[in-house]
Amino acid sequence: MTTIRDRLLFGEQPPIAPLSPQRLTQPTRPPRPPRARKAASSASVDAKSVAQAHSIFHERWWLDIATQGNWALATVKQDDTVLGEMPYALVRRRLWRISHLPPLTRTLGPVITPVAGSEARQRRHQLDVTARLIEQLPACDSFFQVLDPRVDDAIAFALHGYTVSARYTFRIDAHIGQDEAWSRLDSKTRNVIRGAARELTVAPIATPGEFLGFYEDNLRARSRSNAYGSAVMRQLVNAFVERQSGVLLGAYGPGAKLVAAIGLVWDQQAMYFLLSSRMHEAHCGSISLLIWSGIQRAIESGLIFDFDGFSSPSTFSFLNGFGATLTQRLGVERHGTAYLLARTLKRRLAPGSVFVPNL
């Protein structure tokens, strides 16, 4: 089973000058990441456009790849104005019709066009539009989504019989300075980053192919398979690099050998820690050094840095060392009785076979 922070990854390129510990809080300014493209390119709304997308994961191109085209869009309109949209995947797995988050897609949920007026009017609008979106969701044996952090309540889902649960991620605010971000790291995390910086060089990875090959090699070395699907991951990584909606960073040791790597993606609000991989013998601080480099890039670009959830107490402890703010994300789910019984039985017989994307 591969958990979210087992995402050990890819690539290679001649390194740039090493990061010294003294440079860790004053890096060379990286280029500002271009803003993610809007799904709708004109005033007319395509059947699968996602206007005012909350995140990169709502974008049409992302959903097309992540689901291999198996997604649809619930839409609420008033005349020609889109009031709300909610994308969802739908697949058949043996006996079951399933609508879960697609591979590498961390959050989805409704996107509601806001209205002016009192707080009560805004709440009524939110409830009404969300309810009308929910009514369009397909009948299925299992439905599950984690909502974008900007969706701060799921009352409409609860009123329609869905179970609402609290999920979590860590986030670093876009408006803090790098000195403050560095000071918020706990002492152990700062020390491992300093130690890694003395031995490793951080640089962009030359091509998606190198990154992907590194990721798959590390999985094979651990006798693991790709939990997200190698083909889907390959297409998504190639797409976000080509669209300049993400970057691949590598940590290089002696002889310009790639020993660790991460993949970051961004939209108009946040940069997300999407993927990571390291060789078994890599410096213990190699991923921490790469994450810190990503945090610096996010701050320089005026973006939130989102650590993208965690799947175990050990991962929580690791990420907690970066001094980020624990942020709630709401999960909404509804399952048929037969599906719940089958899932419970499977977990009892083979607990390690059930992939849990985050807490």
Q: How confident is the model at residue 24 (pLDDT cuts 50, 70, 90)?
A: very low
Average pLDDT for residues 320-328, to the nearest whole number? 96
What gap in Å lies between CA 35 and CA 197, rounded to an integer? Answer: 30
Name the residue with higher pLDDT: 200 or 24: 200
Q: Which pTM was predicted?
A: 0.83
Q: Are 287 and 262 in contact (CB under 8 A)?
A: yes
Q: Please provide the CATH number assigned to the domain covering 4-34+171-327.
A: 3.40.630.30
pLDDT band at residue 17 using 50, 70 and 90 as cut-offs: very low
CA gap 34, 246 in Å, rounded: 9
pLDDT tens, position by position, 233-269: 999 999 999 999 999 999 999 999 999 999 999 999 9
Q: 44-52 long-range contacts, Cβ below 8 Å, gap at least 24?
A: 45/75, 45/77, 45/80, 45/82, 47/73, 48/72, 48/73, 48/87, 49/73, 49/85, 50/85, 50/87, 50/111, 51/82, 51/85, 51/111, 51/113, 52/111, 52/113
User: Could you tell me the pLDDT band of residue 52, with boundaries at 50, 70 and 90?
Assistant: low
Residue 40 pLDDT exceeds 60:
no
pLDDT value at position 54? 84
Does 21 score more than 50 pLDDT? no
Return the pLDDT at 32: 52
Average of per-residue pLDDT values in the chain: 85
Question: Among 139, 135, 137, which residue's Cα sits nearest to residue 97?
Answer: 139
Q: Report, as an integer, the average pLDDT of 44-50.
A: 44
- 56-167+329-353 in CATH: which number? 3.40.630
Q: Over 60: is that where the pLDDT of 336 sits? A: yes
Distance CA 131, CA 134 (A): 5
What is the tens place of the pLDDT at every residue in 106-131? Answer: 999 999 998 889 999 999 999 999 99
Which strand (E) or helix (H) includes residue 167? strand 163-172
pLDDT at 358: 52
| Choice among 36-45, 66-75, 120-129, 333-342 with the minimum mean pLDDT | 36-45
Instruction: Indicate if the pLDDT at residue 356 is higher than 90.
Output: no
Q: For 70-75, what is the mean pLDDT? A: 96
Query: What pLDDT, on a 0 to 100 scale, did the predictor assign at position 53?
Result: 61
CA 153 to each of CA 270, 328, 329, 332, 336: distance values in angstroms, whole numbers, following the listed order: 20, 10, 9, 11, 24
Is it the case that residue 9 has pLDDT exceeding 50? no
Domain with CATH 3.40.630.30 in the chain: 4-34+171-327
